[in-house]
């Protein structure tokens, strides 16, 4: 069941920070900041990931002209065990903190809760998430030094962090007078779906059935593709994206011309030097592409309606050792370009 915020909620400002490889990718110039060492001035990759969250959050607040006391609730999470990138990264802001775990779907999960809380209870919510190639490899796969070979379906965890301020405050809306603003018009939380995939190097295939499930539930309520510019999945990659298009086609919907995937957009997949196989992945992947590319395009009037479908693979390394397969989840956020004429706001 899709839910609409009880009053209009807008994504007011956002921030994105990435690593070296992401900065060198096709969207490189769009991100707010990057670090060519991937260490962000710290001595471990885990601390670097925390530092990215801290910076992305600071950027999103600063670009909106907000101080911590202007924010009522912070929602955050990441891929590192017990979500410590968020914990340590966000300590200094001293904000009421709701910790999330949605694997790579965390940006969408955070936007869902931000929109619903700002729609009924809070002035403004901020949500942030991150991933880091080196923390993810250490934790989920092999030590970097091992130099293991990767199959073509493997994805490359994006080093990056994205943050979003959602507001329903009348005072903020006045400041947006006459501008295009991304509004969260509906949300649809995902249902975990287990397609039976147990290969940690084929996350796209593990997540595609969940994305299909969410999209079918969305279109059961909103009958048509009409007016939707983009169905933006989080990190299905080349493999998962193709599977999703096929699955939807088998249910009578051809979404292929509208389908885009953050994991495919952030790297040059066909560049052998980039060497990311099926594309980018991770919590940071969808967060930074949504922030730096999609929301800016909405603000500048080039996109009108986007279904942001954050995809996540809900597994850990031990579960695979114990023979479990990898369930996927996909959270949907319907983002619509709105023009705020001053009289409407007042």
Q: Residue numbers of the site for a second copy (CB under 8 A)?
A: 1, 3, 6, 44, 46-47, 72-73, 77, 79-84, 87-88, 90-91, 94-103, 109, 112-113, 116-117, 119-122, 188-192, 194, 314-319, 322, 324, 327, 329
Nearer to a second copy, 257 or 318 (CB): 318
What residues does 124 pair with on adjacent strands? 167
Q: How many CB atoms lie within 10 A of CB 235?
A: 36
| Residue 212 in tokens | 């299909």
In the complex, least distance from residue 168 CB atom to a second copy, rounded to whole angstroms:
12
Contact 255, 248 (CB under 8 A): yes
Exposure string for 43-58, b = 16+ CB within 10 A, e = fewer:
eebbbbbbbbbbbbbb
Q: Minimum distance between the CB of residue 238 and a second copy, rounded to whole angstroms?
A: 24
**Least spacing, CB of residue 167 vs a second copy, in Å:** 16
Nearer to a second copy, 16 or 50 (CB): 50
Query: Rounded to the nearest whole angstrom, what is the least distance from the CB of residue 310 to a second copy in the complex?
Result: 12
Q: Which is nearer to a second copy, 102 or 160 (CB)?
A: 102
In this structure, the chain runs to a length of 346
Q: Least Å distance between CB 61 and a second copy? A: 16
Q: At closest approach, how far in Å is the CB of 112 from a second copy?
A: 8
Question: What's the gap between Cα 43 and its chain centre?
Answer: 26
Least separation in angstroms between residue 301's CB and a second copy is: 31
CA dihedral 11, 329, 209, 150 (to 10 degrees): 100
CA-based max dimension of the chain: 62
CA distance 224 to 244: 18
Residue 121 or 249: the one with the smaller Cβ distance to a second copy is 121
Q: Which is nearer to a second copy, 25 or 77 (CB)?
A: 77
Q: Which CB atom, from 134 or from 265, has the smaller least distance to a second copy?
A: 134
Closest distance to a second copy from the beta carbon of 299 (Å)? 27
Q: Between the CA of residue 298 and those of 175, 256, 345, what are the distances in Å?
A: 17, 21, 19
Cβ atoms of 126 and 287 closer than 8 Å? no
DSSP 8-state code for residue 257 = T
Residue 171 or 317: the one with the smaller Cβ distance to a second copy is 317
Which CB atom, from 162 or from 327, has the smaller least distance to a second copy? 327
Terminal-to-terminal C-alpha distance of the chain: 32
Answer for the pair 130, 49: CB distance below 8 angstroms, yes or no. Answer: yes
Rama region for 178: left / alpha / beta (φ>0; ψ in -120 to 50; rest) = left
The nearest distance, CB 186 to a second copy, in angstroms, is: 11
DSSP states of 114-143: HHHHHHHT-SEEEEEEEE-HHHHHHHHS--
Instruction: Return d(Cα 170, Cα 173) in angstroms, integer.
Output: 5
Nearer to a second copy among residue 191 and residue 216 (C-beta) = 191
């Amino acid at each position: 069941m899709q839910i609409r915020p009880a009053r209009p909620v807008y994504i007011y400002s956002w921030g994105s920070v990435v690593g070296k490889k992401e900065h060198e990718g096709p969207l490189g110039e769009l991100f707010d900041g990057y670090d060519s060492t991937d260490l962000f001035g710290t001595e471990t990759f885990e601390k670097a990931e925390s530092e990215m969250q801290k910076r992305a959050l600071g950027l999103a607040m600063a670009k909106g002209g907000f101080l911590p006391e202007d924010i009522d609730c912070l929602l955050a999470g990441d891929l590192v065990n017990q979500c410590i990138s968020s914990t340590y990264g966000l300590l200094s802001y001293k904000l009421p903190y709701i910790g999330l775990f949605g694997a790579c779907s965390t940006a969408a999960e955070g936007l869902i809760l931000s929109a619903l809380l700002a729609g009924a209870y809070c002035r403004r919510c901020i949500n942030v998430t991150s991933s880091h190639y080196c923390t993810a490899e250490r934790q989920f796969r092999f030590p970097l030094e091992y130099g293991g070979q990767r199959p073509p379906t493997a994805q490359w965890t994006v080093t990056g962090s994205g943050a979003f301020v959602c507001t329903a405050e009348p005072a903020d809306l006045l400041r947006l007078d006459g501008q295009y603003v991304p509004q969260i018009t509906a949300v649809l939380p995902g249902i975990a779906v287990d397609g039976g995939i147990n290969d940690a190097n084929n996350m796209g295939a593990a997540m595609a059935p969940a994305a299909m499930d969410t999209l079918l539930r969305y279109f059961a309520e909103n009958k048509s593709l009409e007016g939707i510019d983009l169905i933006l999945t989080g990190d299905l990659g080349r493999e998962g994206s193709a599977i999703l298009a096929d699955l939807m086609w088998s249910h009578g919907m051809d979404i292929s011309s509208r389908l885009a995937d953050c994991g495919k957009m952030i790297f040059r997949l066909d560049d052998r030097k980039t060497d990311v196989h099926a594309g980018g992945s991770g919590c940071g992947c969808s967060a930074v592409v949504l922030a730096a590319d999609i929301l800016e395009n909405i603000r500048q009037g080039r996109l009108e309606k986007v279904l942001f479908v954050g995809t996540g693979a809900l597994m850990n390394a031990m579960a695979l050792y114990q023979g479990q397969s990898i369930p996927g989840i996909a959270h949907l956020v319907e983002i619509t370009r709105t023009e705020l004429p001053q009289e409407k706001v007042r």
